[in-house]
Amino acid sequence: MDNKLLSEKITTSYIGSAFGDAWALGLEFCSRDYIRDNYPVIEKPLGYMAFNQPPLTYSDDSSLLFCATESLIGGFDLEDMARRFSQWFDPAKAYWSARGEIFDVGITTAKSLRRYAKGYKRAEFCGDDHPMSAGNAGVSRSLALAFYTLGMSLDEIFRHTMLVSSITHRHPVAILTAFYYVVYIQHVLTMDRFHAYHATNELIKSYLPSTSFSQDDISALDRVLEGKIPDLEEDKVYSSPYCIHTLECSLWSVFRASSFRNALDRVVSMGEDTDSNSFLACSIASIEWGVDDVAQWLPELARYEDICDLSKRFAASLSGRYEN
């Protein structure tokens, strides 16, 4: 992939994912039925609903992606990345927050970053590995790794993903979900979403037996790896903060869509953890279709120019690494 195309893909996916996150934030925690009864069609950005934020304010999903990216621009340094996460979590700094305010911080993320701030453990051991801690926050920021690890071996991709997830989410299923997402995004860069799904499944299925994960952990990905997601009935697709649900919901929404806006509308209508689900779905949809069908609202996205600048700086730091 040449440098110009790589830069375009990074910028489009960063803007697309943050836009999806921000568009959906106002309806976070709302049920599927509530959204369909009250917001069957969303024609403009919603504001002052969940967390009382202005329209097009992105959440922690985007903030931690941007923190991770700033760190990766200087090379892979897990302690530096964790420090940046802590700077975001500090209300006095609110580093890479949308509007200088911290909100919607998950319990697992908060506990892990408090451990780090107290010097409790090295970054890679700060994440929670409790069975109830397999949330989705470690997945969304892995979008940066999809670009940073391009051209690396699966072992290297897995190691990078495991370490970055483990800053806050060290549960095996959370790590596996982030790993799948990274590999899938890399395939979407060069093929359509359906061929990318098949290719990713074949690659991941052949790789997982070489890892130390238990069969119980790996089985959490069964519906994804068996290729069932495109054909699921809607009532069999869940949209909770559980990392597997977020992956399945985002994939399903994109597979059923025909454009970026269509994917966004579908994933928001699924309710519950709308911002995280929309982040993932829109990161994929933006690479597949671009973001032209929401272009009128992009300048209103919180820190839009800063996100564009960050994306370009990140691309420049990777320049020449993956040309073919």
135 phi, psi to nearest 5 deg: -80, 180
CA-wise closest residue to 143 among 182, 102, 177, 111: 182
Whether residue 94 contacts residue 101, with contact meaning beta carbons closer than 8 Å, is answered with yes
In the structure, what pLDDT confidence band is assigned to residue 272 with cuts at 50, 70 and 90? very high
In the structure, what pLDDT confidence band is assigned to residue 3 with cuts at 50, 70 and 90? confident
In the structure, what pLDDT confidence band is assigned to residue 322 with cuts at 50, 70 and 90? low
Whether residue 312 contacts residue 11, with contact meaning beta carbons closer than 8 Å, is answered with yes
What domains are defined for the chain?
A: 3-318 (1.10.4080.10)
203-219: pLDDT as tens digits: 999 999 999 999 999 99
On the question of pLDDT at 61 being above 70, the answer is: yes
Residue type, 251: L
Averaged pLDDT, 105-133: 92
Which pTM does this prediction carry? 0.97
CA-wise closest residue to 82 among 167, 160, 169: 167
| Percentage of the residues of the chain whose pLDDT score is greater than 70 | 98
65-110: pLDDT as tens digits: 999 999 999 999 999 999 999 999 999 999 999 999 999 999 999 9
